[in-house]
Structure 1
């Protein structure tokens, strides 16, 4: 169930029997010339929807919170449409959301992250709130990292706006994908270089992978295995 669709009495009733809330977090940023700026939110939102659906079939309920759309995306801020939020600001904002859910009585809060730049701010926010609320568990799931082995059994490569993300978007919102513009290559650096314009070097046109082999079928397979595994983790299965 989506929290924003509930009335407060409905929410009050549900939280008496539901102990887990899922909070999708993403970013608004360039994803090549072929994917929409909201890719990093569309993906975790769809995964959250599928997780809830699977858990319902297993006789378990979770609540899905409205997503955090904006994230920390310093590197890609060189491209139009990228809206970068400072890491301290993102940490503080998410920390307050987590505090509120903890105060409401939820025992497990799942941060379902869709953007790499969010990892450190989310981790720090989670640590602060977990320290304040004994008995509250906060999970940080980076779907493309934590299930990399599964994804690479489906795709031959993965990367920003790459084969995996493009496949997922073809499965979710194909009308927003411009496959005629889907091109790129893998770029790496021996050390992490922090420079204002480093994004143009590491992410030419906002891509770091070859997305040309992406398909909706691969995206559906990724969404299926990731949502199934997250649902089983929440349900306490291995």
Structure 2
């Protein structure tokens, strides 16, 4: 069945007289995810979440439209990881600018960028594009921050960890290798102690940090955990979509 809120599935027969209130742009990456998860893990997750949440918002009368997922992200810290594909931030900015120009020209003045990859940082880009298109309302969402991860998963991590493995076991179990193939996700920490906290940052060289490219032990991952997390994230995101659709972009503050 065609889902009219998914641009890649819908058609001119539907859109000719349609009025989109909010465009949603999933943006992922193509990179190694430990030994056991597919390179497109970030894309599978981001796409599934926004499509489910958009469907919930659509059923409540919100005119949302999910754009095709951008499958490449910033992987500048992984140049030696085989076939980890990189878009420089300047390239992302150029892509975002072009897509915003299309939406603006079509009279769609609300955009949510749904980020599926930790290496992407859209805030500076949104600031710059926002100056060029001041009547656009552009927002960002990064799904691991939408709910409290500790309520769902036991082991900390940020790449091919218990959370991502659980999600993929729920969404695409056929793409997850058997458990005996999973790496430990053990990762080295910085010798500069401040870099292990939140107040100081430097880019990690991935091959020096992790032998299996994972950061976080996936061994306690289950499809049931992934299903529960997915359900709650999608519900939370659907409410966000509804709120953005219904708000007057020229009257945003209380």
Fold-level similarity (TM above 0.5): yes
- SS of the aligned residue for 1:28 comes to coil
The reply to whether residue 235 of structure 1 matches residue 242 of structure 2 is yes
- Give the equivalent residue in structure 2 for 1:154: 152
Q: CA deviation at 1:102?
A: 2.2
- Give the equivalent residue in structure 2 for 1:116: 118
Pairs within 5 Å for 1:176-215: 176-178=175-177, 179-182=179-182, 183-189=184-190, 190=193, 191=195, 192-194=201-203, 198-215=205-222
Do the aligned partners of 1:159 and 1:186 also contact (CA within 8 Å) in 2? no
Bigger drift between 210-219 and 227-236 goes to 227-236
Compared CA separation, residues 188 and 147, structure 1 to 2 (3 A):
farther
- SS of the aligned residue for 1:166 comes to helix
Q: CA deviation at 1:204?
A: 2.4
Instruction: Provide TM-score, normalisation by structure 1.
Output: 0.89
Could you say what the CA RMSD is over the residues aligned between the two structures, in angstroms? 1.9
Unaligned runs of 5+ in 2: 196-200, 245-254
Q: CA deviation at 1:194?
A: 4.5
- SS of the aligned residue for 1:112 comes to strand
- Give the equivalent residue in structure 2 for 1:170: 169
Q: In the aligned structure 1, how far is the partner of 2:188 from the partner of 2:238?
A: 33
Instruction: Provide TM-score, normalisation by structure 2.
Output: 0.83
Pairs within 5 Å for 1:17-36: 18-36=20-38
Q: CA deviation at 1:186?
A: 4.6
- Give the equivalent residue in structure 1 for 2:252: none
- SS of the aligned residue for 1:180 comes to helix
Q: CA deviation at 1:193?
A: 4.4
- Give the equivalent residue in structure 2 for 1:132: 132
Unaligned runs of 5+ in 1: none
Q: In the aligned structure 1, how far is the partner of 2:147 from the partner of 2:54?
A: 22
Cα distance per residue 1:97-141 (max 9 Å; x no partner):
12211221112111011011111xx22332222222233211111
- SS of the aligned residue for 1:47 comes to helix
Do the aligned partners of 2:147 and 2:233 also contact (CA within 8 Å) in 1? no
Do the aligned partners of 2:147 and 2:232 also contact (CA within 8 Å) in 1? no
Q: In the aligned structure 1, how far is the partner of 2:16 from the partner of 2:55?
A: 21
Compared CA separation, residues 194 and 22, structure 1 to 2 (3 A):
closer
- SS of the aligned residue for 1:205 comes to coil
Do the aligned partners of 1:163 and 1:211 also contact (CA within 8 Å) in 2? yes
Do the aligned partners of 1:95 and 1:126 also contact (CA within 8 Å) in 2? no
Aligned length: 229
Task: Say which one has the larger Rg.
Answer: 2
